[in-house]
A = this chain, B = another copy of it.
Amino acid sequence: MMQQEHMICGGARVILASASPRRLELLHQVGIRPQVEPSRVEEVITSTAPEQVVMELSRQKAEDVAGFHAGEKALVIGADTVVAADGQILGKPKSREEAVRMLSMLQGRVHQVYTGVTVVACGGRNRTPVTFFEETDVWVYPMKPEQIAAYVDTGDPMDKAGAYGIQGQFAAYVKGISGDYNNVVGLPVGRLCQELMKLEL
């Protein structure tokens, strides 16, 4: 019996260039056990289109960490996620008030979540990094101010783009999505596994 990790990654060591516990958990879910080595690169954004921003940042993170592993047989994965509503990008809220504002903006309508991913294959043949993004539409039920306040009080919004985590209590307010669910959590593992298998490692 062949393990799924070997089927997807060959014998390569996988390095996750992100400190996100949710991305690590998603890789574990599909059977991949990466080494975690967050990038400390200074983020440089040259675009305003959300899909370009997340691809750009994922590539900076992956290439930064890959720089420390040149010559090794390793796959470095970088990722970045943003929420967008009416073309406006929402990052992580900086205060309770900003979280309330973001959630008031997202309730009762649809918005978009973008995750960009870059895979750099270190060592051996000189491969071009693979970069892609996935977009998911998310519909949120109407929320009353006291429901938003109660959710913000859980503390859950503070470390998350758009001030919510679809995998937590916020699920009570999610009507449905169109696209990859794990992309909203922070890593489109389905697409990622398909791209890794195309590399034929």
Q: A151-180: which have CB < 8 Å to B? A: 151, 153-154, 166-169, 171-180
The reply to whether B179 and A176 form a contact with Cβ atoms under 8 Å apart is: yes
Q: Digitize A133-155: 1 where CB-to-B-CB distance is under 8 Å, 0 elsewhere.
A: 00010000100001100110110
The reply to whether B31 and A169 form a contact with Cβ atoms under 8 Å apart is: yes
The reply to whether A172 and B8 form a contact with Cβ atoms under 8 Å apart is: yes
Cα-based distance from A3 to B151 in the complex (angstroms): 9
A193 proximal to B (CB < 8 A): yes
The reply to whether A169 and B4 form a contact with Cβ atoms under 8 Å apart is: yes
Given the interface pairs A31-B169, A141-B190, A154-B4, the reply to whether A176 lies near B174 with Cβ below 8 Å is no
The reply to whether B176 and A178 form a contact with Cβ atoms under 8 Å apart is: yes
The reply to whether B194 and A141 form a contact with Cβ atoms under 8 Å apart is: yes
Which residues of A approach B to under 8 Å, CB–CB? Answer: 1-4, 7-8, 26, 29-31, 136, 141, 146-147, 150-151, 153-154, 166-169, 171-182, 189-191, 193-194
Closest 3 CB pairs of A and B: A172-B193, A181-B181, A30-B172
